[in-house]
Structure 1
Amino acid sequence: MWALRRASNPLRNLSSQSGATTSDSKVDDGFFDLDSPLETDKIGTFVDKEEDESKLDSVEVAHCSIGSSDSKSQANGEKKPKRTSLASLPFKVVMEAPRHSVNDALNKWVKEGNSLGRNEISMTLSNLRKRMFYGKALQFLEWLEASKRLDFVEQDYASRLDLVAKVHGLHKAEKYVNMIPESFRGEIIYRTLLANYASMGSVKKSEEVLNKIRDHGLPVTTFTCDQLLLLYKRVDWEKIVDVLMMMEEENIQPSPFTYRLLIDAKGRTNDITGMKQIVVKMKAEGVELDLQPKL
């Protein structure tokens, strides 16, 4: 995420006509993360997806919501650890085990003396998510918590919450939120729930979660605002202006996604001048525009 310096408010005067209605109801999904982008899908369905095993070893291992120690090591001047082969991770164990015996397979793997630190956990979850094996990713997290192999922090609970929503639906996800220890029910938890509601186009539920964030005295972040913008872009363009005004009033810094959405909104109303004004503002803020990803 680029840093945005506020010499002046970049949202001021950019929201005019952004609430204009449009006949184009087909919108590409494009924004969901906890810290880094995570994929979205149709929630409420078991979505394990079989893929060509020959592709697995060549995939780049990405950072997952459960943090690894790589960034800290590099910050301290330590050498970056060598990339771990997928075959040496619990990823291979989870992938090869039938659903009913994942726990037994993992217990056996650990008893054989294999390492299971946050780095291995992060890469395993990241690769399961990439392949949309959400059911098995959830089983892995449930095993970690039940076997006390991982001391859960808020991001870990948020990762499990997201998987519960994907595998079992949002009703179960709501119930899971109430099971999370209160001390870990922070902004990350609620923004994860909001993002899942937004991906389903549920305005009422998304706004209820926003109210909970405020009721608990938690900060309304750029991520939350972008989720609302994406939601309203799909279902109620007039509310986009409300979100932009809230961001201005509460000094919430826009993200590159916020700018892309504004440019898209201006483009849909053929407001070429407005599009150019936004690009000028972005350059003034030191933000580079990547027009490749679709909104």
Structure 2
Amino acid sequence: MKLVSVSSSSSLNFRAYDLYQKIQTQLLRTLPTRKDSIYRRMSPLGDPKKSVVPVLDQWIREGNSTYKGELQRIIKELASYKRFKHALEVSLWMTNKRHLPVSPFDVSVRLKLIFKVFGLKEVEDYFSKIPENLLDYPVYLALLNCYTISRSVDKAESIMWKIRDLGYGTKPVWYNLMMDMHLRLGNREEMTGLLTEMERKGICHDQFTYSVCLNARVMASDAGGMDKIVRKMESDRKNIIHWRTYVIAAEGYLKMGLIDKALAMLNKLEGQLSTSKENSTLYVLILKLYAETGKKDELYRIWNVYKSNEKVMNKVYFGMMRSLMKFDDVEGMEKILEEWESSGLVYDFRVPNFLIDTYCSDGRLEKAEALISKGISKGGDASVTTWCHLAGGYLKRNELPKVVEALEKAISVCPPRFKSRKESVITCLKYVEEGESMEKVEELIKFLRTESLSKEIILEEHDENMNGKFIIEDEEDKREGKF
């Protein structure tokens, strides 16, 4: 992919143009939805090796029009599905082919996409070509984001000095990024210094500031410090408490074995259900946390509340099955699975995989095989995890040919970047044929399960905007739209 320099669109006033585009976008929203769209055409192209540019070019050749607001929404949507290469292609096509002027926000999004696709060096090369009139608040914020995620301390510090000189460093987002980086590097003194600077300058804490502070207290196993931060957060009238901050607190107390304190945070989380726009995610987290407290009755209570108040979704069934597995409640899992199968939801193997794992672990392979066959007959696609569970069960029975067969099926449904592991299956076959160490077979099964489970987890870390995630400051979100 060729990365060209940013065009400043000569005499065009990009702010006025963006205002025009936003008005136009609002008008478009009042029109009937088209049956055909650019996004509908490119959405099936999930393979990052395939370019979406031919789809975009064909759209224009057919005489269709496109608007900047529409392209920005497509970029956002693609990025939300981690299709960063395709999102970057759309961003570049928007200016290189359609010659639409870019704003600092567009450049900031592009910088982050370049970071995801190519890495930090390419980000810096691109940044050096940005015209002076586009070097604004969101662009420097995006660059700082890339530096902090890369843990490039010196470069991040240089950006912080730059933004102080420019007068941008009056909002907490800059400090949150730096503090999170130092926390992950174990630089507690630097983090404390940044907090002190915020207080000296009268910069208010926001939810991310409190999240970083809580994480620091969790890492130090300082329950008393956590108590103080929670009290300060709740008494801060300028801060709108996000439920993810309570999740951090609950997880921290659980890590220290303080069940009663964790339950108090869970009670506050339940209080957020009436106002949250992410209820399905919140329900899954509450189920997970109640399972970790060992409160099985509370787990079922929340499950029944969810079913009576919300539209049932696969990911919440997934969360309930995962939570029940912590109690080895096979009977409960079977009942939930039966309920899920009768719900009419799309067959998602992530839900029965927990029960398949249980059956394979305790030697009931026939039940596992029957469940897999049933799922496939219902239109489900058995995942890498499914076949690895089965391979593990066969290995316990020393049914080596079946182990290799199951592993071959696992490899066949692996994401493209794991296809090379096919060689490992062939190696395993060699071990089986020659009767050598089965540790290599177990190692492969463990690797594949670990990799595939990381893809199947429906929730990111409790704070989606920290630990390697991109932060966009709240006011920028409202004005430009979240990335």
Comparing both chains, which one has the higher relative contact order based on Cα–Cα distances under 8 Å and sequence gaps of 6 or more? Answer: 1
**Does the aligned pair in 2 maintain the 1:222–1:252 contact within 8 Å?**
yes
Which of 218, 225, 235 is the matching residue for 2:175? 225
- Paired position in structure 2 for 1:179: 129
Displacement of 1:119 in angstroms is: 3.4
Structure 1 spans left out of the alignment, 5+ residues = 1-65
**Does the aligned pair in 2 maintain the 1:194–1:206 contact within 8 Å?**
yes
What CA RMSD, in Å, does the superposition of the two structures yield over aligned residues? 3.2
Q: Residues 140-191 of structure 1, C-alpha deviation per residue, up to 9 Å, x if partnerless?
A: 1111111244221000011111111221211111121121111110121111
What is the alpha-carbon distance in structure 1 between the residues aligned to residue 135 and residue 40 of structure 2? 28
- Paired position in structure 1 for 2:38: 89
Displacement of 1:222 in angstroms is: 1.5
The answer as to 2:18 corresponding to 1:103 is no
C-alpha change, 1:118 and 1:91, in structure 2 (3 Å) is: farther
- Paired position in structure 1 for 2:199: 248
C-alpha change, 1:85 and 1:127, in structure 2 (3 Å) is: farther
Displacement of 1:234 in angstroms is: 0.4
The answer as to 2:212 corresponding to 1:261 is yes
What is the alpha-carbon distance in structure 2 between the residues aligned to residue 87 and residue 260 of structure 1? 42
What is the alpha-carbon distance in structure 1 between the residues aligned to residue 89 and residue 210 of structure 2? 38
Tell me the amino acid that sits aligned with residue 100 of structure 2: L
**Does the aligned pair in 1 maintain the 2:71–2:90 contact within 8 Å?**
no
Q: Count matched residues.
A: 226
The answer as to 2:163 corresponding to 1:213 is yes
Which of 111, 117, 133 is the matching residue for 2:83? 133
Tell me the amino acid that sits aligned with residue 138 of structure 1: L
Displacement of 1:263 in angstroms is: 2.1
- Equivalent pairs: percent with the same residue? 27
Matches within 5 A, 1:137-216: 137-216=87-166
**Does the aligned pair in 1 maintain the 2:48–2:83 contact within 8 Å?**
no
C-alpha change, 1:275 and 1:85, in structure 2 (3 Å) is: farther
The answer as to 2:188 corresponding to 1:237 is yes
What is the alpha-carbon distance in structure 1 between the residues aligned to residue 149 and residue 56 of structure 2? 32
**More displaced stretch, 239-248 vs 118-127:** 118-127
**More displaced stretch, 185-194 vs 117-126:** 117-126
Displacement of 1:209 in angstroms is: 1.7
C-alpha change, 1:87 and 1:276, in structure 2 (3 Å) is: farther
- Paired position in structure 2 for 1:272: 223
- SS of match in other structure, 2:128: helix
**More displaced stretch, 160-169 vs 91-100:** 91-100
Structure 2 spans left out of the alignment, 5+ residues = 1-17, 248-461, 467-483
Q: TM-score, normalised by structure 1?
A: 0.66
Matches within 5 A, 1:1-150: 69=22, 73=26, 81=30, 88-90=37-39, 92-93=41-42, 96=45, 102-150=52-100
**Does the aligned pair in 2 maintain the 1:145–1:152 contact within 8 Å?**
yes
What is the alpha-carbon distance in structure 2 between the residues aligned to residue 83 and residue 203 of structure 1? 50
Look at both structures and tell me which one has the larger radius of gyration over its CA atoms. Answer: 2
Tell me the amino acid that sits aligned with residue 263 of structure 1: L
Tell me the amino acid that sits aligned with residue 231 of structure 1: M
Displacement of 1:221 in angstroms is: 2.8
C-alpha change, 1:95 and 1:181, in structure 2 (3 Å) is: farther
Q: Residues 239-282 of structure 1, C-alpha deviation per residue, up to 9 Å, x if partnerless?
A: 11011011112222211011122123223334333322222222
What is the alpha-carbon distance in structure 1 between the residues aligned to residue 76 and residue 168 of structure 2? 28
C-alpha change, 1:172 and 1:278, in structure 2 (3 Å) is: same
